[in-house]
Structure 1
């Protein structure tokens, strides 16, 4: 499409990037068919094509309004539209730019500002989040249904193997996952140990930066990225062959470190190296001989929910299911598997009504063939789905590690 981006914007790297993305869009509308919010609301402005047009108008000089902001807020950034787009439009990046530009010009209600600040101040920090989860578990019986559903059940992580001087990979412990579902990271360490790989967590590494970055505190997000790079770099220089990221949402962000820090002369090169080393567990396990794991599935029926950050963000489609099939599980067919469950980072908190509708639809699809268990690859999806079903929801690595525990 033709654009007339404001001259002062065209002189900036982000303005040039947005202009190139907009020009790639031919407004064919293929994206609309796969957009979860358009399917729910039926409003063109709540679909990718409509949001692209709104961002275009704003970048060309039209004053954004609270209505513009709300339509952009309702986007899940699930990136299903990117998978569908025949022109390769980098929609998620355009939305990041558009939201940042609009938020700088439109004041939010105090309640939204407060909620976003609390999320940025608490969620990325395990030492701040853990006491709240502990408290939530203590008072869970007395909480309202909607809040009670967000409190994860306690779980034992189990033994973590000690490094044995073999092949070595780094692991991102993460923020929410490390305190809400500690078994996931421990299961990854046990599985890789059985395959002859030491998995190392560097204590100085923390949140991947996605929470702050996507809530428009870019500096906090970029600072988290730089901290992780600094923490990992000595291990990378000494031969770590990959960075395992068990939460697919975090994996999508780490794989974009090179882009996010491309204009930072002190970090650009190292950020690109870190991004190139990032791996989802399915990429690692799919390339290994798994005979040492036996056949833990034993015919157990599993519905796998492919997180948007895995299938659309990282463009890793049908990578977990073949591993589960190889190890004896029976993976059920999930209708409309490309659609988002409604978790989408902090979306289930900032847009609870839409997230609830999307979850109900996803749970119905996952349970359509009566699985014994639901497996996923992202902590946000895991917690969100668990609040809407009686079927156990786990990270798929837990099934491989010890299927008897779930």
Structure 2
């Protein structure tokens, strides 16, 4: 694709990156064929190729409009298009650049602005979000369905192991997951403890930065990333083997720290080191596959439907690891039709674009339930909560099944 960027963006870091990305696009349309919003809406501008064209126009100097903003807002940033692009177009990075420029040109209606600001301020701050979630859980029977869908039933975390091991790994606790599903991280700690690894949570680590960064509060999102690097660095210097992610959305972001902070002279080198150390839980446990298989033999014989989050299969390009590990332990793992498609959660998308989000959820659940599962498993807190809001079949993080089987 030929480009002629406008002077306001041409010689900037964002402009140079956008130019390189745009030039890789060959208009082939493979991305459109696998885009969830294009499949729902049938509008070229609600597919990656159309959105790339809109972003190109804005970067070349054509004024953005409310329509431009709407088409970019409707993008899930699921990055399915990246998995199917033969040219390696990094669409996720391009859409972040495009959305930022468009939002600078097109003021949002006050209702949208307030909703987005509330999400930016509430979700990343654990000290605000946790009491709000606890209050919501106490009042859950009285909540309207739209709010109840966002408030999972309260569950205990269980015991966090206290044994010290020679092998140590860091764990990102996250901002919303500890309040919404505290058992996920505790279960991870118990499983790794049984395998001789101690998980450490750095007290000052918080939101991975994705929420504010993807809502175009990008500088604040970068500050969240810097704060995590500062919190983790003493443990990295002390020899922590890895930084473990139990939420694939966070993992996809932390693995991008090196890129996102490459321009920061103070943090660039550290950020690259943090990204290199970051591993999704599904990348950590296969090294213990033989021991886990032996320990779990005959204890986890369930039929489950596996929903691979977009941030795992497209963002991090990790496929087959969870399925392989579970199958080796005797779990009957089923992948549903169109397992590559997004469930509609997509971070804050289910709040900002509820109509499209719930259509995608219902489509996904229909396919998952067609496999006849006893349980649906996934690897991201947003997917878990979103899917559970539409079914009575239990929806859990896959590590919870492993933990439950280990303690039997």
Residue-pair matches, total: 406
1:379 and 2:381 are equivalent in the alignment: yes
Asked if the contact 1:301–1:330 (Cα under 8 Å) also holds between the matched residues in 2, the reply is yes
Q: Distance in 2 between matches of 1:165 and 1:299?
A: 30
Q: Distance in 2 between matches of 1:383 and 1:165?
A: 33
- Structure 1 vs Structure 2 CA RMSD: 1.4
- Per the alignment, residue 316 of structure 1 pairs with 318
Q: Distance in 2 between matches of 1:387 and 1:296?
A: 31
Q: Matched residue of 1:130: which SS? A: helix
Asked if the contact 1:296–1:400 (Cα under 8 Å) also holds between the matched residues in 2, the reply is no
- TM superposition outliers: structure 1 runs of 4+ over 3 Å: 403-406
Asked if the contact 2:258–2:274 (Cα under 8 Å) also holds between the matched residues in 1, the reply is yes
Instruction: Give 1:294 deviation, angstroms.
Output: 2.2
Asked if the contact 1:376–1:394 (Cα under 8 Å) also holds between the matched residues in 2, the reply is yes
TM-score with structure 2 length normalisation? 0.97
Q: Distance in 1 between matches of 2:300 and 2:274?
A: 37
- Per the alignment, residue 50 of structure 2 pairs with 50
Asked if the contact 1:310–1:317 (Cα under 8 Å) also holds between the matched residues in 2, the reply is yes
Q: Distance in 2 between matches of 1:39 and 1:96?
A: 22
Asked if the contact 1:21–1:90 (Cα under 8 Å) also holds between the matched residues in 2, the reply is yes
Q: Matched residue of 1:287: which SS? A: helix
- Per the alignment, residue 170 of structure 1 pairs with 170
Deviations 1:83-112, CA, capped at 9 Å, x for gaps:
000000000000000000000010001011
- Per the alignment, residue 399 of structure 1 pairs with 401
Instruction: Give 1:366 deviation, angstroms.
Output: 0.8
Asked if the contact 1:296–1:399 (Cα under 8 Å) also holds between the matched residues in 2, the reply is no
- Per the alignment, residue 333 of structure 1 pairs with 335
Asked if the contact 1:72–1:99 (Cα under 8 Å) also holds between the matched residues in 2, the reply is yes
Q: Matched residue of 2:396: which SS? A: strand
Asked if the contact 1:137–1:153 (Cα under 8 Å) also holds between the matched residues in 2, the reply is yes
Q: Matched residue of 1:104: which SS? A: helix
Q: Distance in 2 between matches of 1:392 and 1:199?
A: 27
Instruction: Give 1:150 deviation, angstroms.
Output: 1.5
Return 5+ residue gaps in structure 1 as ranges.
none
- Per the alignment, residue 263 of structure 1 pairs with 263
Instruction: Give 1:165 deviation, angstroms.
Output: 3.2
Instruction: Give 1:142 deviation, angstroms.
Output: 2.1
- Per the alignment, residue 392 of structure 2 pairs with 390
- Per the alignment, residue 158 of structure 1 pairs with 158
**1:137-286 superposed matches below 5 A:** 137-286=137-286
Asked if the contact 1:296–1:402 (Cα under 8 Å) also holds between the matched residues in 2, the reply is no
Instruction: Give 1:404 deviation, angstroms.
Output: 9.5
Out of 349, 364, 367, the position equivalent to 2:351 is: 349
Asked if the contact 2:300–2:401 (Cα under 8 Å) also holds between the matched residues in 1, the reply is no
CA distance 1:266–1:276, change in 2 (3 Å): same
Q: Matched residue of 2:153: which SS? A: coil
Asked if the contact 2:76–2:344 (Cα under 8 Å) also holds between the matched residues in 1, the reply is yes
Deviations 1:255-296, CA, capped at 9 Å, x for gaps:
000001000000000000000000001100112244253236
TM-score with structure 1 length normalisation? 0.98
Q: Distance in 2 between matches of 1:68 and 1:155?
A: 42
Deviations 1:54-105, CA, capped at 9 Å, x for gaps:
0000100100000000000000000000000000000000000000000001
Q: Matched residue of 2:335: which SS? A: coil
Return 5+ residue gaps in structure 2 as ranges.
none
Instruction: Give 1:358 deviation, angstroms.
Output: 0.2
Instruction: Give 1:298 deviation, angstroms.
Output: 3.5
CA distance 1:226–1:298, change in 2 (3 Å): closer
**1:36-185 superposed matches below 5 A:** 36-185=36-185
Q: Distance in 2 between matches of 1:106 and 1:358?
A: 28
Q: Distance in 1 between matches of 2:31 and 2:359?
A: 20
Instruction: Give 1:136 deviation, angstroms.
Output: 1.3
Instruction: Give 1:297 deviation, angstroms.
Output: 4.7
Q: Distance in 1 between matches of 2:55 and 2:354?
A: 24
Q: Matched residue of 1:285: which SS? A: helix
Instruction: Give 1:145 deviation, angstroms.
Output: 1.6
